Amino acid sequence: MKKLLLMLLLFTLAACQTNQSKPEQNKQLTQQDAAEFLQMVEDTYIKESEYAARVAWVQANFITDDTVWLGAKSIEKMGALQVKFANQAKKFDDLDLPDDMRRRLEKIKGSLTLAAPDDPEKNAELAQIMAKLEAMYGAGKYCVDGECRDLGELSKVIAESRNHKELLDAWTGWRTIAVPMREKYQRMVELANEGARELGFADTGAMWRAGYDMPADDFAEELDRLWGQVEPLYDALQCHVRSELTEQYGDEVMGDDGMIPAHLLGNMWAQDWTAVYDMVKPDNAGETIDVTARLKAHDYDAKKMVKTAENFFVSLGLDPLPETFWERSLFLKPKDRDVVCHASAWDIDNEDDIRIKMCIKEDYEDFVTVHHELGHNFYQRAYKDKSIVYRTGANDGFHEAIGDTIALSMTPKYFKDIGLIDEIPSSDNDLGMLMKKALEKVAFVPFGLMIDQWRWQVFNGEISPDEYNAGWWRLRNQYQGVKAPVERTEDQFDPGAKYHIPGNTPYTRYFLAHILQFQFHRELCKTAGFEGDLHRCSIYNNKAAGEKLIKVLEMGAEKPWQDAMQVIANSRDMDATAMLDYFAPLKLWLDEQNKDRQCGW
């Protein structure tokens, strides 16, 4: 469920060009120089990104030794080149420039996730470590007596088993794959920090926080504020779930510190608790709509699912997807070759050649995912007329939030409107539906926050290499009220067992997206004139809501995200109270359940 981060690939193939042209030295730089530099970078992006995207597409759709080689080459060159452009952009730091030029230069400086030091050896070392870490994760298996299980198999145990010993084995087993990553990760942090400092940032974490149109420290405080808003709801959910799990597993397994052992929550990282729904659902919760069965009953195949999702966006006033989308996307897992099945949305030429790549199963989960992925595609096409450095989300949380916002409108009313069900069920079943959603969305919030809290502290040295694991668990305890089921030591490296750590993908975007999607949903429902419970609102077919949304999509990143927020929410601030509004009926119910329980940790 991600958009392909083309910014990472954009620079790949421009290497030979810039290597040939020596930057002019010791010359007084002018606005004209800055304009020419921007033009050069943007022209290079436009020209080369399509090539890089096609290489990446072919690699992901036809995994062979050769395409992997081509893809790796493409990515290998990227680091050096990105650093070069970022360094060149830095030369204009002290020049008085119009706002728009300044912003485009900052975007070029901020396009890096990890900055390699400006030293070919160190750049190569960093690239190797990054590739190695990613490969270690991808190939990770837990083997006992020659019998090996991968993440998929172990995750199935975590989701389905109710035997805590079996759960513990799968949980600790998966974490064995991360042990050898530890030293490499430490070296990577050193190198990346050196590169970040060369670009003028205090450390890599500060570089990541710089991309949010506000001072880095203010942004960190802003996240704390948003978390503070969600915390009472999360605490109530955690307390209830803990109590129900105690009934299942007993005090001995649970302990008496108020926290939940991480292996019992149905997900390898305890970031999504949907799999324990049956154990924690309200006693009187009715059946929620079985969308999967309804899809089957109405002969939905993969293409019809995508067509239906497209129709949602069209109902808001967006143009239908281009013919090429239907010709070039991948909807089904091919029988005769290896592909990357993880759902993704692509923008091949930064214009109209947008696609999704998924191995669609005809079920509810993938129906939601299709709506999510198309959110990326419609966003990509909407901002295609902006400068190429602005062809991205207002901030990275926005891009993830758009499709999810649409998915929040996949209500019973929507299912009736598209003919999947005949009658809208009464609200008696809503508590169950809300509980299921809360286990997915509310449970995620502190996890979404703590991942980068850990990384920021690792990058700035607050968490030193000899306490990587202790620091990780300190944060998981503090934010999630989730604890390791058995003692962990510094011989292990539990952060490495979560893809985004060895994969070096910033995570704050997912935290933001979880907050933003509810805020967008509430504001668009208001615009649509909806009255009633927020979880029953669907903006399907509402042109007024669509008009507002389209305005935001078309802005891309041309203006600070606060300006985009102003358009959609009539306010410049992110606000997590919309999430509280959405789950208000569930919160009442949780408080009632919890009133005689000992909550907190």
Active site residue 164: no
74: CB partners within 8 A, 6+ apart:
9, 12, 13, 52, 55, 56
Catalytic residue among 376, 514, 521, 535: 376
State in angstroms the smallest separation of the CB of 510 from Zn ion.
Answer: 9
Asked whether position 488 contacts Zn ion by CB under 5 A, the answer is no
Catalytic residue among 45, 212, 390, 510: 510
First to last CA, the chain: 33
Catalytic residue among 342, 462, 490, 547: 342
Catalytic residue among 50, 400, 523, 558: 400
Residue found under tokens 């304009």: 35
**φ, ψ at 261 (rounded to 5°):** -60, 135
Active site residue 310: no
Which window, 2-10, 20-28, 237-245, 360-368, contacts Zn ion (CB under 5 A)? 2-10
What DSSP string runs through 112-141?
-SSPPPSSHHHHHHHHHHHHHHHHHHHT--
Nearer to Zn ion, 189 or 407 (CB): 407
Q: Is 452 exposed, middle or buried (0-12, 13-18, 19+ CB in 10 A)?
A: buried
Distance of alpha carbon 266 from alpha carbon 487, whole angstroms: 20
State in angstroms the smallest separation of the CB of 367 from Zn ion.
Answer: 15
Among 2, 54, 416, 500, binds Zn ion (CB under 5 A): 2
Active site residue 362: no
In a 3-state reduction of DSSP, which class is residue 74?
Answer: helix
Nearer to Zn ion, 1 or 340 (CB): 1
The site that binds Zn ion (CB under 5 A) totals a number of residues, namely 3
Asked whether position 1 contacts Zn ion by CB under 5 A, the answer is yes
> Beta 354-357 vs 344-347: how paired, if at all?
antiparallel
Residue 334, amino acid: P
Catalytic residue among 194, 373, 523, 558: 373
Distance of alpha carbon 582 from alpha carbon 404, whole angstroms: 14
Asked whether position 500 contacts Zn ion by CB under 5 A, the answer is no
Q: Which of 79, 354, 396 is nearest to 211 (CA)?
A: 396
State in angstroms the smallest separation of the CB of 418 from Zn ion.
Answer: 22
- Looking at residues 377 to 436 of the shown chain, list those that interact with Zn ion (rule: CB under 5 A): 400
Residues 217-236, one symbol each (x = binds Zn ion by CB under 5 A, - = not), give --------------------
Active site residue 535: no
Nearer to Zn ion, 14 or 410 (CB): 410
Nearer to Zn ion, 1 or 580 (CB): 1
Using the Cα atoms of residue 200, residue 201, residue 203 and residue 207 in order, give the sign of their dihedral.
negative
In order of 90, 158, 415, the CA distances from 93 in angstroms are 5, 51, 53
State in angstroms the smallest separation of the CB of 400 from Zn ion.
Answer: 5
Distance of alpha carbon 563 from alpha carbon 274, whole angstroms: 35
**What are the beta bridge partners of residue 347?**
354
Active site residue 372: yes
Active site residue 400: yes
Active site members: 342-343, 372-373, 376, 400, 500, 510
Residues in contact with Zn ion by the rule CB under 5 A = 1-2, 400
